[in-house]
Amino acid sequence: MASETGQGAQVLEPISRQDLRMYRGGFGLFIFSQIIPYVVLINVRYDLASAYVPARLSQVLGVLATVALILSAITVRAGLKAIRRDNLAGMNTGLTLTMLFGLVGMALLVAAWVQHPASFYSHYGEIFYTSLGASLLYLLVGELLLVVVKLRGVRVRFTAGNHWDVEAVQMWWMMTVYLWIATWLVFYLL
């Protein structure tokens, strides 16, 4: 439920602790289900390609993408902390910076895709391109979720008592960043 403010935006009613626990648990299970394909891809990577890493692989693009995504994780966390203190402007700043760092990270991953020296038809290339494509898809979904939450934040005023949308997008984004870090470690370093 929501109530009107004098400025035309709706203020959400606080969520009960039990409902919030239920939302977190359900979304946590959903996120766990999204991690399973990555575990399978990493397992297949070592089954098919062993510890092979192409000599001409651009470590710079991988590192820059990872740094951009780590920065985006910091800003999305800052946005969540801000709304927990009823700081709507801080939340908007955090989510906007997250979107920007995420777009930079995505652009760097696309560049890594284009410049990758492995063949699509090699065992390493098959798994690399599939994993990179999955990372890009999850980042794209995260970007869309961030846009939706920001637009919803204009229409409905999030509060310290009801900001589940912001928390959910933060959980998704953190999962995506952690999965990219694991992918980067597996394909670029190990």
Q: Which residue's structure tokens are 């089954």? A: 47
* Residue 102 confidence class, pLDDT cut points 50, 70, 90: very high
Res 52 pLDDT > 80: no
* This prediction's pTM: 0.88
> For the chain, how big is the Rg over CA atoms in Å?
19
List, in sequence order, every beta strand (DSSP E) within the chain: 2-4, 10-12, 156-157
Q: Which residue's structure tokens are 């801000």? A: 82
Residue 162 domain flag: yes
Residue 105 domain flag: yes
Residue 81 domain flag: yes
pLDDT digits (tens, 9 = 90+) for 123-136: 888 888 999 999 99
Q: Which residue's structure tokens are 């980042």? A: 139
Q: What is the mean pLDDT of residues 27-43?
A: 91
Its domain, for residue 186, covers: 58-190
Residue 118 domain flag: yes
* Residue 5 confidence class, pLDDT cut points 50, 70, 90: low
**How confident is the model at residue 4, as a pLDDT?**
53
**In total, how many domains does the chain have?**
1
Q: Which residue's structure tokens are 């991690």? A: 35
Res 178 pLDDT > 90: yes
What the block records as the tokens of 98 is 């997250």
Residue 10 domain flag: no
- Look at 3 and 33; give whichever has higher pLDDT: 33
DSSP class of residue 185 equals I
Rounded Cα distance, 162 and 119, in Å: 49
Mean pLDDT of the chain: 89
Res 95 pLDDT > 70: yes
Residue 181 domain flag: yes
Residue 49 domain flag: no
**How confident is the model at residue 140, as a pLDDT?**
98
- Phi, psi dihedrals of residue 11, rounded to the nearest 5°: -110, 125
- Look at 176 and 116; give whichever has higher pLDDT: 176
CATH number of the structural domain spanning residue 118: 1.20.120.80
Residue 47 domain flag: no
Query: Helices 164-184 and 17-49 meet at what angle, rounded to 10?
Result: 20
Q: What is the mean pLDDT of residues 171-189?
A: 93
Rounded Cα distance, 138 and 132, in Å: 10
Q: Residue 146 in contact with residue 2, Cβ under 8 Å? A: no
Kindly report each contact of residues 130-134 with a partner whose C-beta sits within 8 Å and lies 24 or more positions away, as own/partner.
130/41, 131/38, 131/41, 131/42, 131/45, 131/183, 131/186, 131/187, 132/183, 132/187, 134/37, 134/38, 134/41
